[in-house]
């Protein structure tokens, strides 16, 4: 047990948790504006495959991430049009977006499975993930635009009455969420496990959704939630490899149990629920009402 | 409504009526995508081999990414309903689903991979992958410098435990100081988690990574960290050229071709097949000449020959369990029954099999 060993563990935790931070902070911004997008997993997969395919074709990492983020903008823009203008049910549309993303990514990536690429060092993105969380935190609580976004999520009718464009704010929030999810996906296929495999995000999109709830919609708590998820996974691997007898299943379920406990805790007090979840979450906004 | 139904039935009748009456239809159920470069990929290679061997006498279809739950019943039933004569279900946990559908279609033949329950129209088949694990263990025993092997295991089923034991028995024979670090990841398929496990093992001093999961992420992680690794299910050398020592390849093609031929000839009968290197169902990928000394490659090749002619068996006594009790007496080999139900580590491996 020396310093190098501990640093090694921390490095693995940072690398493994970064995609969760990206996806969760993106989804948090979307939800803060009052829209629940369950398409995280689908957008991550499309982001992952478009980055991978772009990299194979062009050889440029920059272009790969750019196209990937653009794919996230397209996917979430599509979602935004459906839920904001056509007033479709957010939960059903989000689930459909995930199913669509799984299929679309498999189709795009079919020819590219098993193409070897050189992975990119993850450290730049690890740092960026922290920076983005703090920027979002600053944006929410120290800027006027952040206040407007939160107001739209709390009461879209009040925000509308004050003259703010609810649809526009939500559209931007959804697109930001989509591009973050795509970034999470491209990080997975380019840095974390440099390859393309169908369904390679392996349910991380759903974990990101759980982290948003765990964080009680507060940006800096996303980091805490994500690092509990990531840390517990890596920690149990280390304990196993050290030969310490703790059932792996227990650690695999521990983060989910923690989420449920937090949920029970925040819902035990009516006031606390009101203070945490955006009050207009999943409620469609009809102009002129 | 009636018109639509009539139209559809006529349409279907035309499709199936016009097909070559002698042509047999063979269907496959896959757990993953055929492009995983692992387990499902090799089944698909087998399917293509079967097509190339039997030509026009058969046609094949497959359904990919079928979860091991009630969805599998629907997928298998879909193949049965659409006139397939022979259906391969290629994962252990399709067992109950295969039997459920097979009971309703007694005229259709089913083949369940890695299963152990047969019926009149359900045969089972598997490969003795542990023979390959023995060779990997032998190589690892010679190649490790830190005397620490990192092993990424999926689920605690006999297939996986058998592989760990076969590996350790061979490795500890050439290098008694060897230590195994085992991480159970409880998934077959999660590139990120497989890479995490590999990195964790490397961080704990392992200089050879062995995996029993489906993607080449661990091999890639080994390549990046500059340690050695074995590929899994197919030759993965192109993904980790400086780490890949060899891999155990699953060769299903000849078996699939033989079984389909039996259906075409009308000679198919149920049974249990468990073949290894002697029948060519388990094959070692080319040994990496850049990494391994020629003498070691020769030893590995000699082991292959000895396994094929039956003079070498990975589970030859004396073998002790962790409690120090003898499980296979000196001079004997473990019976298939013990291998099929293996759920304990042999003496020398730390930790215990998760329950």
Contacts of A5 in chain B (CB under 8 A): 203-204
Map out the domains of chain B with their CATH numbers: 23-127+252-275 (3.40.50.2300), 130-242+282-340 (3.40.50.2300)
C-beta atoms of A193 and B189 within 8 A: no
Contacts of B201 in chain A (CB under 8 A): 241
Tens digit of each residue's pLDDT, chain B (355 residues): 455 554 555 455 445 544 455 789 999 999 888 877 788 999 999 999 999 999 899 999 999 889 888 899 999 999 999 999 999 999 988 999 999 999 999 999 999 998 888 999 999 999 999 999 999 999 999 999 999 999 999 988 888 999 999 999 999 999 999 999 999 998 888 999 999 999 999 999 999 999 999 889 999 999 999 999 999 888 888 999 999 999 999 999 999 999 999 999 999 999 999 999 999 999 999 999 999 999 999 999 999 999 999 999 999 989 999 999 999 999 899 999 899 889 999 999 988 888 7
Q: Which residue is closest to B188 within chain A, CA to CA?
A: A202
> Per-residue pLDDT tens for A204-253?
999 999 899 888 899 999 999 999 888 988 988 898 888 887 776 676 67
Q: Where are the domains of chain A?
A: 3-276
Distance from CA of A224 to the nearest CA of B (A): 20
The fold adopted by the segment(s) A3-276 is ABC transporter involved in vitamin B12 uptake, BtuC (1.10.3470)
3-state secondary structure of B182: strand
* Contact by Cβ (8 Å): B114, B29: no
Selecting from A9, A188, A195 the residue whose C-beta is nearest the C-beta of B203 gives: A9
Distance from CA of B39 to the nearest CA of A (A): 13
> Per-residue pLDDT tens for B259-278?
999 999 999 999 999 999 99
* Contact by Cβ (8 Å): A48, A181: no
Distances (CA, A) of B201 to A64, A238, B185, B266, B272: 31, 8, 12, 51, 37
C-beta atoms of A12 and B187 within 8 A: no
> Per-residue pLDDT tens for A24-72?
999 999 999 999 999 999 999 999 999 999 999 999 999 999 999 999 9
Question: B300 CB contacts (<8 Å, ≥6 apart)?
Answer: B135, B138, B139, B246, B284, B287, B292
Contacts of A110 in chain B (CB under 8 A): 35
**Chain mean position to CA B82:** 28
Return d(Cα B51, Cα A218) in angstroms, integer. Answer: 57
Residue with tokens 């198919």: B268
Q: Is B204 on the interface with A (CB under 8 A)?
A: yes
C-beta atoms of A113 and B37 within 8 A: yes
Return d(Cα A283, Cα A35) in angstroms, integer. Answer: 8
Selecting from B217, B224, B239 the residue whose C-beta is nearest the C-beta of A116 gives: B239
pTM over cut 0.90:
no
Which of A111, A237, A248 to mutate to test binding with chain B, by most B CBs within 10 Å of its CB? A237
* Contact by Cβ (8 Å): A58, A64: yes
Distance from CA of A7 to the nearest CA of B (A): 9
Which of A197, A207, A251, A256 to mutate to test binding with chain B, by most B CBs within 10 Å of its CB? A197
Q: Is B318 on the interface with A (CB under 8 A)?
A: no
Q: Which residue is closest to A199 within chain B, CA to CA?
A: B190
Selecting from A197, A234, A238 the residue whose C-beta is nearest the C-beta of B191 gives: A197
In 3D space, the residue among B234, B272, B280 whose CA is nearest the CA of residue B131 turns out to be B280
In chain A, which residues touch B (CB < 8 A)?
Answer: 5, 8-9, 12, 15-16, 19, 106, 110, 113-114, 116, 119, 188, 192-195, 197-202, 204, 233-234, 237-238, 240-243, 245, 247-249, 252
């Amino acid at each position: 047990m020396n310093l190098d060993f501990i640093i090694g563990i921390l490095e693995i935790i940072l690398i493994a948790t970064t995609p969760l931070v990206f996806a969760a902070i993106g989804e948090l911004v979307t939800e803060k504006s009052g829209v629940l997008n369950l398409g995280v997993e689908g957008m991550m997969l499309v982001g992952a495959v478009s980055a991978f395919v772009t990299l194979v074709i062009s050889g440029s990492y920059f272009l790969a991430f750019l196209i990937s983020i653009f794919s996230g903008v397209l996917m979430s823009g599509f979602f935004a049009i459906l839920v904001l203008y056509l007033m479709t049910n957010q939960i059903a549309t989000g689930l459909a977006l995930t199913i669509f993303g799984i299929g679309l990514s498999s189709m795009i990536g079919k020819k590219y499975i098993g193409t070897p690429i050189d992975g990119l060092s993850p450290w730049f993105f690890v740092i960026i993930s922290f920076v983005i969380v703090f920027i979002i935190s600053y944006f929410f609580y120290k800027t006027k635009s952040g206040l407007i976004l939160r107001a739209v999520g709390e009461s879209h009718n009040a925000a509308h009455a004050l003259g703010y464009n609810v649809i526009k704010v939500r559209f931007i929030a959804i697109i930001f969420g989509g591009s973050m999810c795509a970034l999470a996906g491209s990080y997975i296929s380019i840095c974390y496990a440099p390859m393309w495999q169908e369904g390679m995000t392996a349910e991380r999109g759903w974990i990101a959704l759980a982290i948003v709830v765990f964080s009680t919609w507060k940006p800096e708590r996303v980091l805490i939630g994500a690092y509990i998820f990531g840390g517990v996974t890596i920690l149990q691997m280390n304990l196993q490899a050290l030969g310490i007898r703790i059932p792996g299943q227990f650690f695999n379920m521990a983060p989910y149990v923690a989420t449920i406990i937090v949920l029970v805790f925040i819902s035990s007090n009516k006031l606390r629920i009101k203070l945490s979840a955006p009050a207009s979450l999943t409620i469609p906004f009809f102009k002129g009402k | 409504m009636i018109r639509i139904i009539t139209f559809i039935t006529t349409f279907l009748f035309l499709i199936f009526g016009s097909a070559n009456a002698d042509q047999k239809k063979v269907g496959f159920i896959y757990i993953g995508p055929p492009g995983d470069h692992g387990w499902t990929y090799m089944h698909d290679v087998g399917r293509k081999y079967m097509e190339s061997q039997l030509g026009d006498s058969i046609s094949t279809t497959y359904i990919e990414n079928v979860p091991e739950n009630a969805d599998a019943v629907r997928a298998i039933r879909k193949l049965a309903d659409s006139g397939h004569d022979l259906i391969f279900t290629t994962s252990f946990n399709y067992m109950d689903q295969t039997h459920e559908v097979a009971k309703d279609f007694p005229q259709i033949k089913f083949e369940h991979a890695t299963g152990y329950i047969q019926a009149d129209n359900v045969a089972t088949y598997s490969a003795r992958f542990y023979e390959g694990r023995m060779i990997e263990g032998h190589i690892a025993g010679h190649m490790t410098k830190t005397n620490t092997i990192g092993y990424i295991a999926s689920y605690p089923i006999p297939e996986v435990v058998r592989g760990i034991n076969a590996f350790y028995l061979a490795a500890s024979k050439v290098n008694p100081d060897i230590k195994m670090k085992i991480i159970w990841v409880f998934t077959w398929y999660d590139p990120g988690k497989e890479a995490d496990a590999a990195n964790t093992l490397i961080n704990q001093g392992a200089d050879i990574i062995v995996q029993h999961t489906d993607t080449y992420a661990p091999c890639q992680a080994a390549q990046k960290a500059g340690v050695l690794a074995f590929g899994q299910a197919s030759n993965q050398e192109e993904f980790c050229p400086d780490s890949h020592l060899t891999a155990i390849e699953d060769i299903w093609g000849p078996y699939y071709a033989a079984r389909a031929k039996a259906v075409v000839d009308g000679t198919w009968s149920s049974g249990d097949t468990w073949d290894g290197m002697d029948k060519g169902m388990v094959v070692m990928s080319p040994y990496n000449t850049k990494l391994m000394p020629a003498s070691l490659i020769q030893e590995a090749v000699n082991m292959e020959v000895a396994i094929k002619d039956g003079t070498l068996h990975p589970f030859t006594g004396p073998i002790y369990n962790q409690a120090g009790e003898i499980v296979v007496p000196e001079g004997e080999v473990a019976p298939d029954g013990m291998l099929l139900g293996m759920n304990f580590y042999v003496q020398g491996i730390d930790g215990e099999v998760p329950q």
